[in-house]
Amino acid sequence: MSGVGITEAEQPEAMPKLSPMTLKIRELEAKRQAGTDAPLPECLPLSDIVRLEELFQPRREAEHHVTDLREAIKRGATLDPLTVLRVGSTVYLVDGHHRWTAYDEEHVTAPVPVVAFKGTVLEAVRESRRTNAKAKLVMQPAERADAAWRLTMCEGLSLAEIAEDCGVGTATVGRMRRTMRALGDAAFDIETWKQAQRASKGVSDPLGDDEMEEKMRLLAESYTKRIGRTFGRRLTDNIEVTAMALDGYFGRTLPDLVEQLWGYLPEAVQERIRTPPDF
């Protein structure tokens, strides 16, 4: 209808061509629609559950969490059901990768509890992002950004949907879209948002993800020590003044800082901030 504008946030993703992720989703969705609607049993052998991490695992596994789950299995505890999706004759793991690994490393042969995801393949992909972004195990900002970057290459999702699913800001997803368009088809071969940013500036990244993360961690530790030596407890004892100082220092880039800090907050604190008390 003429005269009605559509904002970028309302438009679905516009791709230079169909990405490998989109093609895989289309392939699986066709099989899902042609397959059976018969209900899955409440438990399945681990060997019957296929991991497809290119679609359903938006983060690296945390070894300490797998260890805790293995200890729970040894004690006879019942873990939460794995979320799975039936596609034709294949059952894919949507959520519960740490639990799957713990079962596997404990050589569990008995069927494990599962719950069937009701929806399309694309909806399952979104669910895997949303579940992880809710931070049962706190998802670092870089992991959230990487999940959003990969989801940006998936057709049919708006800017707001990607931001909500991955727990990042809409401004960040907007930058990802612009970067993707600038890179063209080369964007499909880039795994992380940091690498995409560097590629868009024509900077090669000689470090892998692990090396880059370690470099950033060491740099952050050095900043922490310098701040402690300079201010002692004055920053933590005067939070309001500290916030005013950060606002003055960061200026227009303050929203970027807040967006990064958000990922370090526990889920309960995030919920409290989203719904402040009514005084």
Q: Looking at the domain assignment, is residue 8 inside a domain?
A: no
What is the number of alpha carbons within 13 Å of residue 112 lying toward its C-beta? 27
Last residue of a domain, one of 79, 107, 128: 128
Confidence at residue 103, expressed as pLDDT on a 0 to 100 scale: 95
Q: Give the model confidence (pLDDT) of 190-209 as tens digits.
A: 888 988 988 888 755 555 55
Domain-located, residue 158: no
* Residue 237 belongs to domain spanning: 209-264
| Domain count across the chain | 2
State which amino acid sits at residue 10: E
Cβ neighbors of 170 (< 8 A, separation 6 or more) are 9, 159, 160, 163
Instruction: Classify residue 48: in a domain, yes or no.
Output: yes
Residue at 15 is within a domain: no
Q: Which of 110, 128, 146 is the last residue of a domain?
A: 128
**pTM of full prediction above 0.75:** no
pLDDT more than 90, % of the chain: 31
Q: What is the mean pLDDT of residues 103-124?
A: 94
Phi-psi region of 223 (alpha: psi -120 to 50; beta: other; left: phi over 0): alpha
Same domain, 24 and 122: yes
Task: Kindly report the CATH number assigned to the domain that includes residue 67.
Answer: 3.90.1530.10
Do residues 8 and 159 make contact, with C-beta atoms less than 8 angstroms apart? yes
Helix (H) or strand (E) holding 13: none
Domain membership of residue 165 (yes or no) is no
Q: What's the rounded mean pLDDT across residues 174-198? A: 88
137-173 tens-digit pLDDT? 556 788 888 889 988 988 888 888 888 888 888 888 8
Q: Report if residue 245 sits inside a domain.
A: yes
* Residue that finishes a domain, picked among 128, 163, 188: 128
The answer to whether residue 278 is domain-embedded is no
Q: Where are the alpha helices (DSSP H) in the chain?
A: 20-34, 53-56, 63-74, 97-105, 121-133, 141-152, 159-166, 170-183, 193-200, 209-231, 234-237, 239-250, 254-262, 267-274
Average pLDDT, the chain: 82
pLDDT (tens digit, 9 = 90+) per residue, 25-74?
A: 999 999 999 987 788 999 999 999 999 988 887 667 777 788 889 999 99
The residue type at 80 = D
**Reading across the β-sheet that carries 49-50, which strands appear in turn?**
43-44, 112-116, 82-87, 90-95, 49-50
Q: Are residues 27 and 122 in the same domain?
A: yes
- For residue 191, give both structure tokens: 């795994």
Q: Is residue 10 part of a domain?
A: no
Q: Distance between CA 140 and CA 120 in Å, rounded?
A: 28
